Structure 1
Amino acid sequence: MEQIVQAECCGKTITISTGKIAKQASGAVMIKSGDTMVLVTAVAMKTAKEGQGFFPLTVNYQEKAYAGGRIPGSFFKREGRPSDNETLTCRLIDRPIRPLFPEGFLNDTQVMATVVSADKDNDPAILSMIGASAALMVSDCPFAGPIAGVKVGRVDGKFVANPTAEELEKSDLEIVIAASQEAILMVEGSAAEVSEDDLLEAIFFGHAAVQPILAAQLELAKKVGNPKRDIPAPVVNEALKARVAALAKEGMKQAVRIKTKVERHLAIDAIRDEAIAALVPEFEGSEKEVKGFIEDLEYDLVREHIIKDGERIDGRDTKTIRAIATEVGLLPRAHGSALFTRGETQSIVAATLGTSVDEQRIDSLYGDSRKKFMLHYNFPPYSVGETSFRLAPGRREIGHGMLAERALQQVLPKHDDFPYTIRIVSDITESNGSSSMATVCGGALSMMDAGIPIKAPVAGIAMGLIKEGDDFAILSDILGDEDHLGDMDFKVAGTAEGVTALQMDIKIGGVTREIMAAALAQAKDGRIHILGEMAKSIAAPRADLSAFAPRITTI
């Protein structure tokens, strides 16, 4: 039987229905606002694969061309590989729901969002985020929701929830927020050098705006009455755990304080191998458990050291930025180039100028458009000492590139004043945390080296969080291990005047206003420091373009 609920979000009605379409899925909803409609399904297999060691969640988002009354522009005239926008929307859906599945639930799970009707004023990405949560809520999947998404703009000084296309043209910020009833789960967006205080107000305006949508999902789940699966708590071999701690704890205390990434990882690998060799003969078939206990030991010791002593893996306190080295004019034939190094993270960034024939053609639901500024981020496997057959950009690379693109787009000159197509390419050559923010810094340096008259230099920083009970520590310029072992990855980019882009992901149930305010303030201090280091190489755009760049003359 079909069940329907409605919610009002700042003057717009959102309708969620279930029980009519895709009834063989674990959960399925049709979500509608205005003339935009998205079918969202969730399916979880009944059992996990043998030996499954991680939670295999897959999120797919597809915009059907018929939703906008269009025929696909490709040679085959049908939907094909995901566009960048579809890939970015997959990430928007995935990131807030992933932490809300219980530990020990390892069944293959897939969420699919299909846009079947689209107008220009109701964003299908936002509806897909809400629909994913609603589909999981009405399913038997063990999901600790609901969550809801909202886009926040600001027009004439007033915040607007889910602004129309016309309102976005006038807005000085565009932020997507995902939240539960209690806390913020994810933030992503851009702003025109907006202050940290104003951003905080925008985020919590969005939190208040989604409350009716969250209540509607709870109402729908109650109407459907589908009981959740019982997930047995993981059985812990306490005897083996104690033996691992006795054997490895002292060595691990020393290993997690080794400052260089490669040496630290080699030391931890040696401790793990020693524990396996010593304990597997006694506890037959326990190799996987021993590895898990070693990882838990590393997790506990790193976090304890930060919370109790205020000292991080590489010896820094919570606010210190790693050593920064910058260089411009690295590549003689590139129109502009920079080498940006921060600790063990490094990027070569090049800026290229083109003409109107170099603009990227975008075929979307709403028609053809042209893109005059592009940023492409590449993360080759050698940057972390690994090998891989996959060299094409993946979801992570597309997401990191778009974050950096948004950060830099806010300071570009008006196209009428500088009528060039601009492409920035960031090749990560070393990585130990914050490579997307290294791309922002290197991108700004390369544009100034190319003579692009940007409004102001832009720098970026990645913030982390360690939270144990009521105690917490906010970390500036996090390492890769601090990202992996911590509770938050909060990237903030901007000029000396304000924030131009931000992205926050968390691994816990949410973060409070107090934590977000402290993180934004600490990020600002770090950003100002980084801008000062960048200015040592180049402080303003060069007066002339490269001799190898095209010249456009307006008569």
Structure 2
Amino acid sequence: MSGKQIVVEKEIAGRQLKMTTGEIGKQASGVVMVQYGETSLMVAAQTGPARMGIDFFPLTVDYRERYAAAGKFPGGFIKREGRPSTHEILTARLTDRPLRPLFPKGFRDEVQIQTVVLSSDQENPSDVLSINGASAALCISPIPFQGPIGAVRVGMVDDKLILFPTDEQTKSGDLDLVVAGNRESILMIEGFGRQIPEDVMIDALLFAHKAIGDLCELQEELAGKVGVEKNEFTSPAENPFVSIVRKDALDDLKKARQNPKKTERSAAAAEIKQELIDKYFPEGAEEDSEGRTIGDFKEAFYQVDKQACRDLTVNGHRLDGRSPNELRDVSCRVGITPRVHGSALFTRGETQSIASLTLGTVRDQQRVEDLFGEHTKRFMLDYNFPSWSVGECRPIRGPGRREIGHGALAERSVQWVLPDESVFPYTIRIISDITESNGSSSMASVCNATLALMDAGVPIKQPVAGISVGMVKEGDKYALLTDIIGDEDHFGDMDFKIAGTQKGITGIQLDLKIDGINEEIMRKTLEQARKARLELLRSMLTEIRRPRKEISMLAPRIETVKIDPEKIGLLIGPGGKNIRQLQEDTGTQIDISDDGTVTIAASKGTGAEDAKARIEAMTEEVRVGRVYNGTVIAIKDFGAFVEIAPGKDGLCHISELSNGFVKNVGDVVKIGDKLEVKVIAVDEQNRVKLSRKALLPDAEEEKAKDDDDSEDEEDLSFDD
């Protein structure tokens, strides 16, 4: 690049979207600055030579947010950004998915894309801008990218679709939908909503696609001004072994691949492969007589195996024998493990998940810090995919990008049906451990999370189920496949995951290996998924019809009470004296929000209820007729002063201490005695008058008794 700044801009959804190049990063293959509002990103695309022997396209996408973009320092001791956050990993995946299908078949050069957020106005999210910036950087680079693509976010507030909603509009709305595509079709979808009906979701997708054309036009204008010359890429010649393997093994592979069991299908295909290796490369040879290598053979075998699976599928023969819209067998069990607060086992064919649920207090919420500030999460769903679940050995490390992505998809698909915090003030964590996998374990996690929530007694608004629909497309002919298995995903063209309730969609994610799908395919897919979802829900509700009425006895007991924010200081007391004493006396954990919401948690017993009653007594206005458990703090000739709450006391006159005549106050009560009293009056000066007598049995009902007859006194004290 010459160093001359090139700028293009266009008004999108009422704000200017500007792309700039030519001045920054002149040694890179392509660098674009993207600005929308006052959110600004730098996106770089770089290519390098292919690694020797590589058999896949090595595209790497990285997305990072600099805290300086929002005028902030990173939290903690180290004032430098560290490993990527969950949000950064999810945005990198979001950027990667629509780009990957648009490189030439057989292209193996290294390609790296990095997005750095340089400025955040904390209003316009940067994740969708990253997709547009990556596409633009590839378009102005020599890399043979078959773009451009555009990406938009769609929100819905008051039933109205909004293009590029602000962060606040997204959070308060009913839909958060990201769509990427080119002028002709949609390439990627990721969205979550409040039980969105299928026809409304289609409207939102078409609304998004209409705006994508403007973004593609802007990138084409930028590429035209740059005038870059693309590297020519010639697809490699057909592997010389393909025609040979096709002739010798295609029919056998079609027979081998038709088996309901994954391991038997794989074993039968592997046996055919080994027979051909022994035939073409006897005695462990690496080359045949014509110089063709065993690597050439393995690549050819994969292509023929893929062709066999696709030919079967597109002609109506699924590998495991099901019809195109048929679910695998489903079984559900809840309460499978002791001690946890909720658990479930969900099995769909050869995909299986164990869900474990824990209920916690407000202190267990996850604290998240990002460019938009610090916030907390009260619901978490973690997904684990051990290698043994697919019969493999791999190093056991922390969660990878795939596990983080699948967990987030399941979490955001379920969160829309959780009860409001004011109704159910618990922190909820679900762990989905995949114990067997053969297709769409993320949607199995959605189903199992719902079962665990109901088993735990969480009053969810509606049960949620999820299913994945795949596709094999050859020319104009295509087959849609409900509940795809691993081979159908691997050899197919589409993985379209849809989660929702009987009322509508809560989560949707589309990944493609081809260059897009049209409206017809989308409509058919959503309808096919809806029918499968209802069938899944029937199976799930047969096991547990609705959430249990009570939470586990092992879960903490939580009570909430709303107090006047001006009374927070009174509740806390000087130096925290009052709240510490209250927690110690009742064995509870008490948390106070700025709005006056007090959350009380106890591990067992009635401590939470006792603490709630005492807090109400302490913070509410004293009312005539209310009964308090007070403490005698002073004795006078005319009566006793009783503290009914910290900082609040009243006078129990000598005439109100007992039904009978009282000569000395000290004969009835002493300082420090606990006394149940009733408020009988509050005068204009807020002086409180109390009565013990009002809570004693009627004098007329008492029998005359001797002062020394302790047995008669005991009988009276236990009178109901």
Shorter-chain TM-score above 0.5: yes
Which residue of the other structure, out of 18, 21, 27, is the alignment partner of 1:18? Answer: 21
* 1:449 to 2:451 alignment: no
Aligned to 2:479: 473
Which residue of the other structure, out of 403, 407, 411, is the alignment partner of 1:397? Answer: 403
Per-residue Cα deviation, 1:256-288 (whole angstroms, up to 9, x for no partner): 102211111111112112222222433434212
Paired residue secondary structure (1:55) = coil
Per-residue Cα deviation, 1:448-495 (whole angstroms, up to 9, x for no partner): 000000001110000101111111111100001101111100000001
Find the aligned partners of 2:102 and 2:333 in 1 and give their Cα distance: 43
What are the residue-to-residue correspondences of 1:157-176 with 2, within 5 Å?
Answer: 157-176=159-178
Aligned to 1:493: 499
Find the aligned partners of 1:499 and 1:283 in 2 and give their Cα distance: 57
Find the aligned partners of 2:269 and 2:290 in 1 and give their Cα distance: 21
Moved more, 387-396 or 418-427: 387-396
Find the aligned partners of 1:391 and 1:251 in 2 and give their Cα distance: 39
* 1:90 to 2:95 alignment: no
Aligned to 1:143: 145
Contact 2:57-2:109 within 8 A present in 1 as well: yes
Find the aligned partners of 1:37 and 1:235 in 2 and give their Cα distance: 43
Paired residue secondary structure (1:87) = helix
Per-residue Cα deviation, 1:322-350 (whole angstroms, up to 9, x for no partner): 00010000011110000000000000001
What are the residue-to-residue correspondences of 1:11-410 with 2, within 5 Å?
Answer: 11-45=14-48, 47-238=49-240, 240-280=241-281, 281-308=288-315, 310-410=316-416
Find the aligned partners of 1:170 and 1:385 in 2 and give their Cα distance: 44
Contact 2:340-2:358 within 8 A present in 1 as well: yes
Identical counterparts, % of pairs: 48
Paired residue secondary structure (1:505) = strand
Paired residue secondary structure (1:455) = coil
Find the aligned partners of 1:306 and 1:264 in 2 and give their Cα distance: 15
Find the aligned partners of 1:480 and 1:249 in 2 and give their Cα distance: 20
Contact 1:374-1:424 within 8 A present in 2 as well: yes
Contact 2:242-2:304 within 8 A present in 1 as well: no
Structure 1: gaps (5+ residues)? none
Which residue of the other structure, out of 520, 526, 529, is the alignment partner of 1:514? Answer: 520
Paired residue secondary structure (2:382) = strand
Call closer, same or farther: CA 1:476–1:303 in 2, change over 3 Å.
same
Find the aligned partners of 2:318 and 2:65 in 1 and give their Cα distance: 44
Which residue of the other structure, out of 7, 14, 37, is the alignment partner of 1:4? Answer: 7
Aligned to 2:431: 425
Contact 2:407-2:442 within 8 A present in 1 as well: yes
| Counterpart residue type for residue 181 of structure 1 | R
Find the aligned partners of 2:210 and 2:358 in 1 and give their Cα distance: 43
The TM-score with structure 2 as length reference comes to 0.76
Per-residue Cα deviation, 1:403-449 (whole angstroms, up to 9, x for no partner): 10111101000001110000010000000001000000000000000
| Counterpart residue type for residue 414 of structure 2 | L
Per-residue Cα deviation, 1:190-211 (whole angstroms, up to 9, x for no partner): 0100101100110110111121
Find the aligned partners of 1:147 and 1:468 in 2 and give their Cα distance: 23
Measured after TM superposition, the shift of residue 103 of structure 1 is: 1.4
Contact 2:31-2:137 within 8 A present in 1 as well: yes
Call closer, same or farther: CA 1:8–1:211 in 2, change over 3 Å.
farther
Measured after TM superposition, the shift of residue 237 of structure 1 is: 4.0
Paired residue secondary structure (1:93) = helix
Paired residue secondary structure (1:181) = coil
Paired residue secondary structure (2:144) = coil
Measured after TM superposition, the shift of residue 2 of structure 1 is: 1.2
| Counterpart residue type for residue 302 of structure 1 | C
Contact 1:380-1:391 within 8 A present in 2 as well: no
Find the aligned partners of 1:505 and 1:89 in 2 and give their Cα distance: 15
Per-residue Cα deviation, 1:108-164 (whole angstroms, up to 9, x for no partner): 110000000001221111111100000000000000000111110111221101101
Per-residue Cα deviation, 1:210-230 (whole angstroms, up to 9, x for no partner): 211110100111111111111
Equivalent pairs counted in the alignment come to 552
Find the aligned partners of 2:267 and 2:59 in 1 and give their Cα distance: 30
Contact 1:380-1:428 within 8 A present in 2 as well: yes
Find the aligned partners of 1:282 and 1:331 in 2 and give their Cα distance: 60
Find the aligned partners of 2:333 and 2:133 in 1 and give their Cα distance: 47
Paired residue secondary structure (1:535) = helix
Measured after TM superposition, the shift of residue 525 of structure 1 is: 0.2
Find the aligned partners of 1:219 and 1:86 in 2 and give their Cα distance: 29
Find the aligned partners of 1:469 and 1:232 in 2 and give their Cα distance: 22
Contact 1:335-1:351 within 8 A present in 2 as well: yes
Call closer, same or farther: CA 1:166–1:284 in 2, change over 3 Å.
same
Aligned to 2:579: none
Contact 1:456-1:540 within 8 A present in 2 as well: no
Moved more, 520-529 or 201-210: 201-210
The TM-score with structure 1 as length reference comes to 0.98
| Counterpart residue type for residue 162 of structure 1 | F
Contact 1:457-1:539 within 8 A present in 2 as well: no
Find the aligned partners of 2:395 and 2:370 in 1 and give their Cα distance: 30
Measured after TM superposition, the shift of residue 242 of structure 1 is: 2.5
Find the aligned partners of 2:17 and 2:514 in 1 and give their Cα distance: 28
Contact 2:125-2:167 within 8 A present in 1 as well: no
What are the residue-to-residue correspondences of 1:530-545 with 2, within 5 Å?
Answer: 530-545=536-551
Paired residue secondary structure (2:435) = strand
| Counterpart residue type for residue 547 of structure 1 | M
Contact 2:193-2:506 within 8 A present in 1 as well: yes
Find the aligned partners of 2:168 and 2:293 in 1 and give their Cα distance: 60
Measured after TM superposition, the shift of residue 231 of structure 1 is: 1.2
Q: Which has the larger radius of gyration?
A: 2
Find the aligned partners of 2:233 and 2:226 in 1 and give their Cα distance: 21
Contact 1:272-1:294 within 8 A present in 2 as well: yes
Paired residue secondary structure (1:536) = helix
Contact 2:254-2:312 within 8 A present in 1 as well: no
Paired residue secondary structure (1:210) = helix
Moved over 4 A (4+): none
Measured after TM superposition, the shift of residue 247 of structure 1 is: 2.1
Contact 2:70-2:122 within 8 A present in 1 as well: no
Structure with larger RCO (C-alpha < 8 A, sep 6+): 1
Which residue of the other structure, out of 542, 546, 549, is the alignment partner of 2:555? Answer: 549
| Counterpart residue type for residue 238 of structure 2 | V
Find the aligned partners of 2:276 and 2:135 in 1 and give their Cα distance: 42
| Counterpart residue type for residue 234 of structure 2 | P
Aligned to 1:482: 488
